[in-house]
Chain A
Amino acid sequence: NAGVTQTPKFQVLKTGQSMTLQCAQDMNHEYMSWYRQDPGMGLRLIHYSVGAGITDQGEVPNGYNVSRSTTEDFPLRLLSAAPSQTSVYFCASSYHLRGEKLFFGSGTQLSVL
């Protein structure tokens, strides 16, 4: 049982490049989400999904896209990277929609030059 797996662990991009951060969970969780963590800002919710085919925006969605074609996978796409997207990104999942504890991946450290 791997839990929540994120890849890559580290990534350096140039401004304007695109990339996809991968997230997979093997716990059959309905709810999956992406957070970014910046110094002094805590964790801020980017996008979330309550099941396959259903996604919604969080607090800071601009510049990011998501899709949920399967229960297991929830990739985060940066369409045109900007230096302001330099951050640590965490994927998290839980069994159900509301109020459940979150299981976090180990994070992706992204630097945009």
Chain B
Amino acid sequence: SQQGEEDPQALSIQEGENATMNCSYKTSINNLQWYRQNSGRGLVHLILIRSNEREKHSGRLRVTLDTSKKSSSLLITASRAADTASYFCATDAELGGSRLTFGEGTQLTVNP
């Protein structure tokens, strides 16, 4: 069963615009992570936010976490064509054992 669910499934924007992707999960977590996957490649870790954190920044990325709503959002500012990829959230559940559980991903397309 999927712990994290991303929304929307697909997002198409113009270069320079901001992109926001959301992730909802079901159980209490230790941390939540966001990954990026370019077509035909493996996943690359973007950012990790712990359950006691509310916001983290990394370059043009901003991640928020609301544990009361069991949700997270990933904001990419000033998007570029090179940001075109699938984005996945992954949760490390408190009672999940030694595993990260991934959502189905959001396909982001940034048009030049």
Contacts and interface: CB of A to CB of B under 8 A. Distances in A.
Nearest to B97: A56
Instruction: Tell me the dominant secondary structure on chain A's binding face.
Output: strand
Interface size classification for chain A? 20 to 34
B88 A104 contact: no
Contacts of A56: 97-98
B99 A107 contact: no
Contacts of B42: 4, 90, 92, 104-107
B88 to A, nearest CB: 7
Nearest to A31: B98
B57 to A, nearest CB: 17
Interface string B16-45: 000000000000001101010000111111
Contact of B99 (A4, A58, A106): A58
B97 to A, nearest CB: 8
A98 B30 contact: yes
